[in-house]
Chain A
């Protein structure tokens, strides 16, 4: 039986607001959301609309949503103050693999830096919410910090690739620089910081450096047994941001034959797998249930990925 309180908005007060850049704010709520990296919530502004937003931060007591102002609903939200209440339901959706033994290559375009930053922090154990992979189950409690696989793990290695149009639009640069065992690589369209060009320009270079005869040359996602191999050299590429960028990442990962997880955004209405708005071609599966995080093998079978999506009337719109 589904827990309906997960799927009806719960009133929550804004506890903190951070201006990330002129167009982006992070709103914090003191609430135990029990989310895992990659998941989203539905945010309801009464009288206006309800929309899905990726969870950018969750330390078990407080969660945060990083939001870009782009329409009437987010405009209203940007005008709100600490203490004002909105409706939150969720968390919804599938999650990124959280395995501190892997070498993560994270590719973030624009606002994608938020949920990937959440993942990076979970891995580096900046907060103890890191959980092994798998779907959210209701009633999950955080593992004890004493779990030696997750606590203070020095083997996690993260290459964090971040791209934006210019350096003023880069998100979370300072926050990401703080994550231990991670290296930040920056790309800006105008070259105002880092590499001049797309963030996906950087990926083949980093993948070439990462791959060696000892690392996985196959797409087998299961850990190898009997470890003569250093687990930390097993690469997992994760990406979030504009779909065309993610499609490029997927193509590159197919070429290098490395594991990859994408985060596919689709217009959502019910969020609970009933209305069919977010069903993708040709499989007909709903991304509020089977996504947004999708592994490489499944992403390759979603033929509309990188090509088109559907608007709120269900009409096909090219990307």
Chain B
């Protein structure tokens, strides 16, 4: 069964991609993920300076989903360049992930971190729980999105995906701004919220930062709607992200307009084997529904 997908100069043997922030701290971890069937991996987001991130707890499940406030912990550009080298050993495309507090920082990361070993770059403008970045720093507006995209565009020829926030309304406008700035695609979406979960005996929010992004099954209908809005707004391809846990969910996102899907919280529910499992579930659906090529289902709800 042919599960390959191709978009924005990226060729994948299957449409499952490891989402940023999950199992992406080391090259060895990425190798483990691709051994388990991922079509590609997005690394942990890297900033110019090292960041310890928020104290723990910074990740925990809730009913129907998951919450996190990790806070962009990463070893900074110099250590990350060493870690994410020899990427051929990963055995599948590796997508860089960069963050910055300002358009200039994003440009700096694009110029100095991105080697040609990366297949593409995902620039994240949408974290809901880290001061200085994302929605807490106003990066989710159309103006900021276009400015940041342009700044990165000038510094790299790699396929550039902008990862957007479900908080940004109307999300079609944010996508248009990214497209205008020169993005090659949109990753929809980052986590929603931020949300808060309180331990009623200890009388405190469980996440150390107090609030955090919500992911998992609860997020998925939001993500699917965002993909749909974006599909109707721009011509550039979409990578879907948000609560995919099964083949059914992946197909749903593709029918809404995604070319491929990122998996994050799914690893909590089904283990690192989830990439392989979802591919098998997609294949089963294609056999049952007599679909020969995934191109047939992308955006099919609009036809």
Contact = CB atoms under 8 A, between A and B. Distances in A.
B76 interface: yes
Contact of B199 (A11, A274, A279): A11
A279 B58 CA distance: 17
Interface string B36-79: 00000000100000111101111111110000001001111001
Contact of A273 (B57, B75, B79, B271): B271
Interface residues of A, number: 42
Contacts of A316: 75, 79, 83
B6 interface: no
Contacts of B193: none
A286 B24 CA distance: 11
A7 B61 contact: yes
Contacts of B300: none
Nearest to B272: A273
Interface string B17-47: 0000111111111111100000000001000
B164 to A, nearest CB: 22
B9 to A, nearest CB: 27
A274 B61 CA distance: 11
Interface string A21-38: 000000000000000000
B268 interface: yes
Contact of B28 (A8, A85, A283): A283
Interface in B114-154: none
Interface class of chain A by DSSP? loop
A276 B44 contact: yes
A252 interface: no
B215 to A, nearest CB: 10
B8 interface: no
B268 A273 contact: yes
A138 interface: no
A274 B274 CA distance: 12
Given A4-B62, A46-B204, A275 B199 contact: no
A168 interface: no
Interface of B: 21-33, 44, 50-53, 55-63, 70, 73-76, 79, 83, 199, 201-204, 206, 208, 264-265, 267-269, 271-272
21 contacts: A2-B269, A4-B61, A7-B60, A8-B61, A11-B199, A42-B56, A46-B202, A50-B55, A269-B58, A269-B70, A274-B264, A274-B268, A276-B29, A279-B23, A282-B31, A313-B50, A313-B53, A313-B74, A314-B73, A314-B74, A314-B75
